[in-house]
Structure 1
Amino acid sequence: MNAHSSAASAARSAQDSTVFRVLARIGYVVLGILHILIGAIAVSIAMGGGGGEADQGGAMQQIQKSPAGVVLLWIIVFGLVALAIWQIAEAVVERDPDTKKKWGYRVKFIGTAVAYIAIAWTALTYALGGQSQSSESSQSFSAQLLAAPAGVAMLVLLGLVVTAIGIAFIVRGITRAFKKHLHLPAGAARSGIITLGVVGYIAKGIAVAVTGVLFVVAALTHDPETAGGLDSALRTLAGLPFGAIILWTVGAGLVLYGLFCFARARYARM
């Protein structure tokens, strides 16, 4: 048995495990909680409050301060790691030997897994008593990249990739492509879940796309402080004409995306 076959067999065993499926569904619940917290912080900023950092770090900080916060953070770590492994399994497992998964399909799942692992790492940092400022990390990374040979081009490329991911979220929301990954119930519940998905995906796409644009601006202006991650992206929206309304709308959309994640935990195809 070659290495690829061994990896595929291990991934298939994980997917067939009831315990692992439960952990992966908990991962979706975790994502929901994080997006609701980030959205609530964004709404607070839009209404003139301090709110904190409107990103994963800010959400983790809120959880860290709550009763049983450390326990919750460890649940987040395990849930997201399980969800990441599930995404990797989706990329490598061939359920139908007559149908080969396209490379774009595989890349999407691997990229999603990497994102979940990154969030899990942030949760682990807070669970161990530390803190993480994603805006400062993004600025530091941008500065290091700009100082490298061809750094401007690499940072522009990174920004374009992040922007493309944001646009993909928007398109997925508009086209309702997320439905194919769900066993949707009938009736009003189905319509409600679809509405949450459409609005949530579009709102998240806007936030991610603006983050990507900020990376491009940082590269073209040679100003790494411009690239500040999700929190800076949302605060940039607040600085636009009618920015408070735009930020409030995006923040509310992120809350709805969080609620959609709860529904996804229940109805995801696994």
Structure 2
Amino acid sequence: MPDARNVPPEPPDATDGGGLGAAEVAEKIGDHPVLHALGRIGLVSYGVVHLLIALLAARIALGDPGRADKAGALQALAATGFGRVLLWVVALGLVALVLWQLAEVLFGHRGLPLAQRVRRTAVDLAEAVVFGLLAKTAADVAADGGAQPSSKPVPSTILELPGGPFLLVLAGLGITAVAGYAVYRGLSEAFLRDLDLRGAGLRRSLLVMRLGRVGWPALGVAYGTSGVLLVVAAVRYDPTQPVGLDAGLKALGAQPFGQLLLLVLAAGLAVFGVYSLFDARHRAD
């Protein structure tokens, strides 16, 4: 009978609790406090960007021909004293926020019914895409020192691809669907699922709820307008057609009572920006 003292120990098996498998390692990374801290910086950045968009939209309503979209807001941020450094911090925080959302996709909805899990996963993936695109824009603006991007707009590039109009219609419908869900999310208070308001106190909890009820529908209206413009540009097959959030806000401002509508929407986007700051503070881990 061999001496047990001379038998080398077997390597730990990731499936029997003796070690961590890839899924467990990924889950531990997704739950790491540093990632959550950076993700909260990303939520603060997201709020600041929308506060700047609200300011630019209000200026357009009052006659300023500037650019009221995420790139314009980031360029405005780059013009400040430590703007480029701040933009790199914004980009890093948003990348962390993308990783946080992906961790939620993989591990955050395990106990939910299948239909609800699919819906929540789709929302998390859509938000991860939004945060990822914004992170890239922030990094590009920071690298360019806040200069106006010289590259061709993405919708124009898509239109020039084989099947470009069809792809742009899909993109526009997708943005419109996400925008519609943002409106629903605010009106139904579904945003409360992402928050942990325990210990926040009654007054702050009510404030956050009211901010979300107003801010999320305003966000949906703003981006829904840009989604509709994408579909219109694709149907007309016009690569020069202005599209995006900036074009959507300006189109809204050109309507009857457009100045008032744009000011109201700017106020709503500002509310969403403030809500995002509270979201960073009270986002459930």
TM-score by length of 2: 0.85
Cα gap change, 1:220/1:176 in structure 2, threshold over 3 Å: closer, same or farther? same
| Aligned residue in 2 for 1:143 | 159
For 1:266 and 1:256, locate their aligned partners in 2 and report how far apart those are by CA, in whole Å.
16
- 1:60 offset after TM fit, Å? 1.0
| Aligned residue in 2 for 1:30 | 45
Give matches, 1:146-157, under 5 Å: 148-149=162-163, 151-157=164-170
In structure 2, runs of 5+ residues without a counterpart are 1-13
Among 233, 247, 250, the residue aligned to 2:248: 233
For 1:258 and 1:135, locate their aligned partners in 2 and report how far apart those are by CA, in whole Å.
28
Question: Is 2:232 aligned against 1:211?
Answer: no
Cα gap change, 1:105/1:49 in structure 2, threshold over 3 Å: closer, same or farther? same
Among 67, 83, 89, the residue aligned to 2:103: 89
Question: Is 2:70 aligned against 1:63?
Answer: no
Q: Secondary structure at the match of 2:36?
A: helix
Q: Secondary structure at the match of 1:224?
A: coil
| Aligned residue in 2 for 1:245 | 260
For 2:205 and 2:123, locate their aligned partners in 1 and report how far apart those are by CA, in whole Å.
26
For 2:83 and 2:166, locate their aligned partners in 1 and report how far apart those are by CA, in whole Å.
41
Contact residue 125 and residue 132 of structure 1 kept, 8 A: no
Please provide the CA RMSD for this pair. 2.3
Please give the per-residue CA displacement for 1:58-112, whole angstroms capped at 9, x wherever unaligned. Answer: 1111111101111101110110000000000000015756866723322221221
Cα gap change, 1:98/1:225 in structure 2, threshold over 3 Å: closer, same or farther? closer
- 1:152 offset after TM fit, Å? 3.0
Among 157, 162, 181, the residue aligned to 2:175: 162
- 1:140 offset after TM fit, Å? 1.8
Structure 1 stretch displaced more, 178-187 or 238-247: 178-187
Structure 1 stretch displaced more, 170-179 or 124-133: 124-133
| Aligned residue in 1 for 2:7 | none
Aligned-residue sequence identity (percent) comes to: 36
Cα gap change, 1:126/1:98 in structure 2, threshold over 3 Å: closer, same or farther? closer
Give matches, 1:61-140, under 5 Å: 61-93=75-107, 96=110, 102-129=117-144, 131=147, 133=149, 136-140=152-156
Q: Secondary structure at the match of 1:225?
A: coil
What letter is aligned with 2:128? A
Cα gap change, 1:157/1:134 in structure 2, threshold over 3 Å: closer, same or farther? farther
| Aligned residue in 2 for 1:191 | 206
Structure 1 stretch displaced more, 88-97 or 69-78: 88-97
For 1:97 and 1:170, locate their aligned partners in 2 and report how far apart those are by CA, in whole Å.
26
Q: Give the structure with the higher percent helix.
A: 1
For 1:175 and 1:134, locate their aligned partners in 2 and report how far apart those are by CA, in whole Å.
41
Contact residue 8 and residue 93 of structure 1 kept, 8 A: no
For 2:151 and 2:34, locate their aligned partners in 1 and report how far apart those are by CA, in whole Å.
36
Please give the per-residue CA displacement for 1:188-216, whole angstroms capped at 9, x wherever unaligned. Answer: 21111111111110111001111110011
In structure 1, runs of 5+ residues without a counterpart are none
Higher relative contact order (CA 8 A, sep 6+): 1
What letter is aligned with 1:170? V
